[in-house]
Amino acid sequence: MTLAELERQVSACVRCPLSAGRTQAVFGVGNPDAGLMFIGEAPGRDEDRQGEPFVGRSGKLLDKLIAEELGIDRGGCYIANVLKCRPPGNRDPQPAEIETCRPYLETQIDLIQPRVIVTLGNFATRLLLDTSEGIRKLRGQVYPYRDGVVVVPTYHPSAALRSGGEVVAEMRADLIRAKQALAVAA
Ligand code: URA
């Protein structure tokens, strides 16, 4: 299985009802050889239209924080979501949708083989760390995932857009944590 083959499967996927409402599946963007991977929640309206993760307002903030704290752009990392199709009205992903879509994300991670994964918000963090704990408690630390890969949880950028300064500062601190974890893993 190659990443291109997986992307073809995802773009034709009809495993859950979200497929009926999508303009297109949103697979991922960036450098598949990068050591750093970001995982968000699900495509929103802009992502569904453009076929790329994090192209709306929260994506602009994410790009800015990645550039300022890590000195890279989308070409220096890989960005994907837990769900590949947009939930109607941007509602939360449902547990059944997450379970159905999960093998795609897991295969994507296996193929990209990042060394550090930054999970953005509750859904990605809970899925990868297999916990029901909230992001406020979980962020601020580095966790083992598997095969030497580590997870650095942080807030979803839309939470930073809602809540402002303190959350942005904590996201910055988490990105510095990710940078340090990458340097250790190099
Ligand atoms: N929010 C996400 O979690 N992912 C996107 O791609 C866009 C907004």
Is 81 touching ligand 1 by the criterion CB < 6 Å?
yes
| pLDDT tens-place values along the chain, 186 residues long | 999 999 999 999 999 999 999 999 999 999 999 999 999 999 999 999 999 999 999 999 999 999 999 999 999 999 999 999 999 998 999 999 999 999 999 999 999 999 999 999 999 999 999 999 999 999 999 999 999 999 999 999 999 999 989 999 999 999 999 999 999 876
For a mutational test of ligand 1's pocket, the pick from 24, 41, 66, i.e. the residue with the most ligand atoms closer than 8 A to its C-beta, is 41
The domain ranges of the chain are 3-185
Is 47 touching ligand 1 by the criterion CB < 6 Å?
yes
**pLDDT the model gives residue 56:** 95
18 φ/ψ sector (left φ>0, alpha ψ -120 to 50, else beta): alpha
CATH code: domain 3-185 is 3.40.470.10
CA of 184 to the centre of ligand 1 (A): 28
**pLDDT the model gives residue 164:** 81
**pLDDT the model gives residue 186:** 67
For residue 79, the SS3 value is strand
Is 53 touching ligand 1 by the criterion CB < 6 Å?
yes
Nearest C-alpha neighbor of 96 from the set 15, 186, 157, 39: 15
CA of 79 to the centre of ligand 1 (A): 10
Alpha carbons 19 and 15: distance in angstroms, whole number = 8
CA of 142 to the centre of ligand 1 (A): 22
